Amino acid sequence: MKKICYLSLFVISCNLLNAQIIERMRPAEWKGLVYGGRFMDRFQPIPFKSELTSDTWGAANVLPRDVSNGIEDKDYSYWGGNILKGDDGKYHLYVCRWREDSPKGHMEWFHSIVVHAVADNAIGPYKVNDIVGSGHNPEAFRLKDGSYVVYVIDGYYHSKSFNGPWEYDNFKFDPRDRPIIEGLSNLSFARREDGSFLMVCRGGGIWFSKDGKSTYNQVSNTSVYPPVDGRFEDPVVWKTNIQYHMIVNDWYGRIAYYLRSKDGVNWKVDTGEAYMPGLAVYEDGTQVDWFKYERIKVLQDDLGRAYQANFAVIDTLKHEDRPRDGHSSKNISIPLTVGRQIQLLGNKKITARSKRIQLLIKAEDGFNPHMDIDLKSLRFGAPDEVNFGRGSVVAETKKQGDDLVIIFNGKGNGFKADNFVGKLLGKTTKGNLLFGYTRLPWVTYNAPILSARYPEIIKGSEKANISVEIQNFGQVASSVTPVDIYVKEKNEYLKIAAAKIQPMQPFERVELKLSSKYKFIKGNNYNIKLSIRIEGNTPNDLEAEVKVR
């Protein structure tokens, strides 16, 4: 098995050796959130798979518990990992572990081994089936050709089967002149409709690969994470048939944030906690108070909806977990409330003047919209409105076969230019959370993603020659697209060149040639802005300091 070096992460860990935890102040506006207004409200009570027991490892705060949940045993400490449902109907967990009696205790993690564990149901118990190889923080995903990748820090394993054999290799990364944001570790991946992949790195940079194994290309200039002073790690990204989702953890503050995106490049931070300690509650109300929840991963259905979260949990501070001391870590499973399938009817754009809004709620196995909805509790509109109990209310309903059409009074819908989905929020007739997202007919979801490298400027005798490479990371071809280049003068940008990019296929790249009569001085550095204006998408502006050759 290949031995992988984690020196950089180990140094970070050592620098934080004396760090404990801090209480993060919540924004005042969060106090107005209603039930279902934050991702954390989607966590459900954990069903029992065996009786609660105290005859196992752990501090008093995690006893008694159901040891059949997720994976654990007395000989190994487990960490990270995610689950894929196989064509065999079983659930396959790829998780890392190390000997609990290792001299370094929890700090043995940088010598961890990835194992493949299997269960007959999503919750567990999972039993180790075979070994994948050395590695830490695994995340498994399936390629378009049906084969499997298990990412680990510094590399990945690939196999045609859940059970191997596994071949180790290294991803190739092209930062495309941009600074890599906090290094390439703790990566998370989301497969797009055409089989290409979006990846987010530890620091919140967005990357794309044509097939999940070929080169990953960075497109973001800055982190997409919330603009707060967090100590971020453990991002997880996934895609549904509606939008992209991301959760990132502030490990120091023990609070995670939830983000959404229509294209995977431009992200909106939702209000409220995504998760924090206190999630593990059994159906009878018994709580298991794990000290830390990290490495969240989600189990998805055929529409991409997350219906279970898995965490790495530990019963105490990591540096207090020593060999044979009764402390350890494991992977746990917590079910999530699944968003309902909803669809906005009609193509007319919803505004503050809209009188009526028609929404189709689809029937599914275990959900009858005619019987299971508390209609008086429903609100529909912009997520920023319904998360606070506002939004449009029900005016009337109509049956449409097994499905239900709800007509909302348009007043208070709250839709603005930056909204790319509508949200339904309320309760079932049993008082449980009910929610769903729908696309908006007037929003473009699958647009080209044109991204430029830093321009190269060569001074000539009468004019400067400018060349820049542009690539399309979208899933659809672009049309003729204008590009403008600016130079910064006295805190203002002056346009110095313009051109049009001819149509480009997905992942196609072109080198654009321009010229400018701007009086550049050879050898000097200039602040350059390159602006690509794509119809139906957020403008893609690149700002860079360029030295004139």
Tens-binned pLDDT, residue by residue, of the chain (549 aa): 344 444 344 334 434 434 557 888 888 999 999 999 999 999 999 999 999 999 999 999 999 999 999 999 999 999 999 999 999 999 999 999 999 999 999 999 999 999 999 999 999 999 999 999 999 999 999 999 999 999 999 999 999 999 999 999 999 999 999 999 988 999 999 999 999 999 999 999 999 999 999 999 999 999 999 998 889 998 999 999 999 999 999 988 889 999 999 999 999 999 999 999 899 999 999 999 999 999 999 999 999 999 999 999 999 999 999 999 999 999 999 999 999 999 999 999 999 999 999 999 999 999 999 999 999 999 999 999 999 999 999 999 999 999 999 999 999 999 999 999 999 999 999 999 999 999 999 999 999 999 999 999 999 888 999 999 999 999 999 999 999 999 999 889 999 999 999 999 999 999 999 999 999 999 999 999 999 988 766 667 899 999 999
Task: Say yes or no: do domains 32-335 and 450-547 share a fold.
Answer: no
Cross-sheet strand order for the sheet of 244-250: 232-239, 244-250, 255-261, 267-269
pLDDT at 536: 60
Token output for 499: 């051109």
CA geometry: angle 128, 40, 67, nearest 5 deg: 30
Token output for 393: 């209310």
pLDDT at 228: 87
Say which DSSP state 337 is in. Answer: P
Q: How many CB atoms lie within 10 A of CB 4?
A: 17
CATH of span 32-335: 2.115.10.20
Phi, psi of 505 (to 5 degrees): -80, 160
In angstroms, the CA 123 to CA 126 distance is 8
Q: Does domain 450-547 have CATH number 1.10.10.10?
A: no
pLDDT at 538: 63
CB contact set of 258 (below 8 Å; sequence gap of 6+): 38, 39, 245, 246, 247, 269, 270, 272, 274
The domains of the chain are located at 32-335, 342-439, 450-547
CATH of span 342-439: 2.60.40
Contact 218, 453 (CB under 8 A): no
94, 99, 105, 108 alpha-carbon torsion, rounded to 10°: -60
Token output for 253: 């503050």
- Name the residue among 179, 228, 219, 177 with its Cα closest to residue 198: 219
Contact 357, 344 (CB under 8 A): yes
Query: How many helices (H) and strands (E) in the chain?
Result: 2, 35
pTM above 0.75, yes or no: yes
Amino acid letter, 393: V
- Name the residue among 241, 252, 244 with its Cα closest to residue 16: 252
